[in-house]
Amino acid sequence: MLQDIDTTRRMLQARQTSATAEMERCIAAAQAPACAPAWTRTLFDAARATAADPKVQHLPLAGLAVSVKDLFDLQGQPTPAGSVVLADAPAAQADCAAVARLRAAGAALIGRTHMVEFAFSGVGTNPHCATPAAWDARSGALPGPARVPGGSSSGAGVSVATGAAFIGLGSDTGGSIRIPAALNGIVGFKNTARLVPTTGAVPLSSTLDTACAVTRSVRDAVTAHEILAARRVTRSPAPLSAWRLAVPQSVFLDGLDPTVAHAFARTLDTLRQAGAPIVEMALPEVGELGDMQANGSLSAAESHAWHRQLLAARGDRYDPRVRSRIERGATMLAADYIDLLRARRDWIARMETAMAGFDALLSPTVPMVAPPIALVAPADGRDPDHDAERDAAFFSANALLLRNTSVVNMLDGCALSLPCHVAGELPVGLMVWHAALHDDAVLNVGLQAEKILQKQ
């Protein structure tokens, strides 16, 4: 199992390792075949210089490696957001807010990571570059076909899971941090969106976008969140038995892949045996989201508003799958958009009332294991029938991967995904979640659950 920031910091303080030695390990991992496709640009020399700088050694990240999703501004570099459309964009004049906070905490930025074009998919493929395969950090790569890493923060997930980075800065609009966390066997925390500024990031949905991170442990998720949100998490020593937990039955458990169903059931049994008071709840309000978005989604409408001029000028250079999703926003009436915002506010209020008796809710992060890359790979034009089959498989997988996680984004909530599989199984994530500003409770439950699940 990979050492996390907490363990590495203690080793640094005891002089059992050095930031430069840790950086060389990360760079070696970043250059290895399993991780090489995870980068759109590497920054090894700059990362080495930061790791060697004595001024960062006392800071929270102490010169340790951090990767940055390709949609965040880094001073002096263009921000392509996984596209060729913005490849010739002017260089950013300053770091985005999230990157600036990480640098101030002593992060050594090791590179920019692969992502779905403009962050508009949960699968992790991008026709403009090779797709990094999912990786299980607990047991190493498993035999079988190469599988999708999850998106849209695909490279972020792989960079952390393979040991190339301690933190992968990413974004989560419908699950784009938690999905790659689940499929790569690592931890991903989506904070309440308002807690971390998204200024200096190419937007997908101005309403739903969240700047957050994937990490090697829940302890590191707390550290990353405290840096990104510029706040302290209130820690609780309370055991899992002191928290009120529920498993919603509506939607989240529908049609689970057998591997996910088995891992989730085993996880609940393990947590209950450790004293967790877990109850079932109906939560039928989740089933209303389909009808609520019948006339369009916030992501489609808000992304189209941002992209419409680019689409008119360079639409032929977009990933066709991404373009088709953005263009759905063109047909949404302003009245329907306003009605959706109003309906969402009412729905959030009813959801919060229904969940008020619980400290956190538990669900599978995604209802399926990662599908093979070959099944959903971008069309190449050589066989139209095969391309159509892959497109159909892609959109089906994308809808399933986003199904559970996107509920939390519509709720304006917070959620943690942590591994709940065992060695020899494909990665499966447990999602611990609640409504807005319940971040500390979710993280504290996650800390306790992680301790228990690591013994499986």
Active site residues: 69, 152, 176
3-class secondary structure, 360 = strand
- ω into 236 cis (within 30 of 0): no
Query: Residue 141 is which amino acid?
Result: A
Residue 338's alpha-carbon distances to 208, 286, 298, 301, in angstroms, are 15, 20, 10, 11
Please state, as a whole number, how many other Cβ atoms lie within 10 Å of the Cβ of residue 265. Answer: 12
Rounded Cα gap, residues 151 and 345, in angstroms = 27
**String of DSSP letters for 71-133:** TB--BTS---TT-STTTTPPPBSS--HHHHHHHHTT-EEEEEE---GGG--SS---TTSPPPP
Phi, psi at residue 110, to the nearest 5°?
-90, -20
Rounded Cα gap, residues 261 and 368, in angstroms = 9
Burial of residue 316, with CB atoms counted within 10 A of its CB: 0-12 exposed, 13-18 middle, 19 or more buried: exposed
